[in-house]
Chains A and B, each alone.
Chain A
Amino acid sequence: MLKFPKSAAVAVLGLTLLSTPSWAEGDAVAGEKVFKKCSACHAVGDGAKHKVGPELNNTFGRIAGTAEGYKYSNPMIAAGEGGLVWDDATLAEYLANPKGMIKGTKMAFAGLKKDDEIANVLAYLKTFSQGEAASAPAAEEPADAAPVEAADSTPAVSTEPAPAMVVEASKGAFGLGRVAMPEEIAAWDIDIRPDGMGLPEGKGTVAEGDPIFAEKCAVCHGDFGEGAGRWPVLAGGQDTLTRERPEKTIGSYWPYLSTVFDYVRRAMPFGDARSLSDDDVYALTAYLLYLNDVVTEEDFELSNENFSSIRLPNEENFIADDRLSEPHYAKGVEPCMSECKPGPVEITARAQILDVTPDGEGDESTGGGID
Chain B
Amino acid sequence: MVDDTDPKGTKQKASRRDFLKAGLLSGAAVAASAGAARAAGEPLITEIQDWNRYLGDGVDVAPYGTPSEFEAHVVRRDVPWLTADPVSSINFTPLHELDGIITPNGLCFERHHGGTAVINPADHRLMIHGLVDTPLVFTMEDLKRFPRENRVYFLECAANGGMEWRGSQLNGCQFTHGMIHCVVYTGVPLRYLLEEAGVKTTGKWLLAEGADSAAMTRSIPMEKALDDCLVAFKMNGEALRPEQGYPLRLCVPGWEGNMWVKWLRRLEVGDEPWAQREETSKYTDLLANGKARRHTFMMEVKSVITSPSPQVPVTHGKGPLVISGLAWSGGGTISRVDVTIDGGRTWQPARIDGPSLPKALHRFYLDINWDGSEMLLQSRAMDDQGLVQPTKNELRAARGENSIYHNNGIQTWHVNNDGVVENVEVS
Contact = CB atoms under 8 A, between A and B. Distances in A.
Contacts of B401: 244, 368
Given A262-B276, A273-B215, A350-B422, A368 B163 contact: yes
Contacts of B226: none
Given A170-B136, A339-B345, A345-B344, A323 B163 contact: no
B301 to A, nearest CB: 9
Nearest to B297: A321
Contact of A259 (B276, B342, B425): B276
A153 B215 CA distance: 34
Contacts of A191: 207, 209, 217, 268, 274, 276
Interface string A177-202: 11110001100111111110000000
Contact of B277 (A189, A262, A323): A262
A318 B142 contact: no
B90 interface: yes
Contacts of B207: 191
B258 to A, nearest CB: 11
Question: Secondary structure at chain A's binding surface: helix, strand, loop or mixed?
Answer: loop
Interface residues of B, number: 122
A365 interface: yes
B14 to A, nearest CB: 10
A273 B286 CA distance: 29
A333 interface: yes
A352 interface: yes
A359 B13 contact: yes
A357 B170 contact: yes
B332 interface: no
Contacts of B274: 191-193, 262
Contacts of A230: 81-84
Contacts, number: 338
A348 interface: yes
A: contact size bracket:
35 or more
Contacts of A177: 136-139, 142, 196
A258 interface: yes
Interface in A62-87: 65-66, 68-72, 74, 77-78
Interface in A237-275: 241-242, 244, 246, 248, 250, 253-256, 258-259, 262-263, 266-267, 270-271, 273
Contacts of B276: 191, 259, 262-263
**Most chain A CB neighbours (cut-off 10 Å) among B78, B129, B280:** B280
Interface string A310-339: 000000011111111011110111011111
Interface string A332-371: 1101111111001111111110101111110111111111
B371 interface: no
B286 A241 contact: yes
B265 A180 contact: no
Interface stretch (B38-46, B58-66, B99-107, B288-296): B288-296
B398 A320 contact: no
B23 interface: no
Nearest to B158: A370
Contacts of B380: 335
Contact of A358 (B1, B79, B113, B406): B79
Interface string B240-263: 000000000000000000000000
Interface stretch (B3-11, B24-32, B227-235, B316-324): B3-11
A220 B84 contact: yes
Nearest to B343: A345
Contact of B90 (A348, A350, A370): A370
5 interchain residue pairs of minimum CB distance: A345-B343, A172-B196, A351-B423, A328-B390, A230-B84
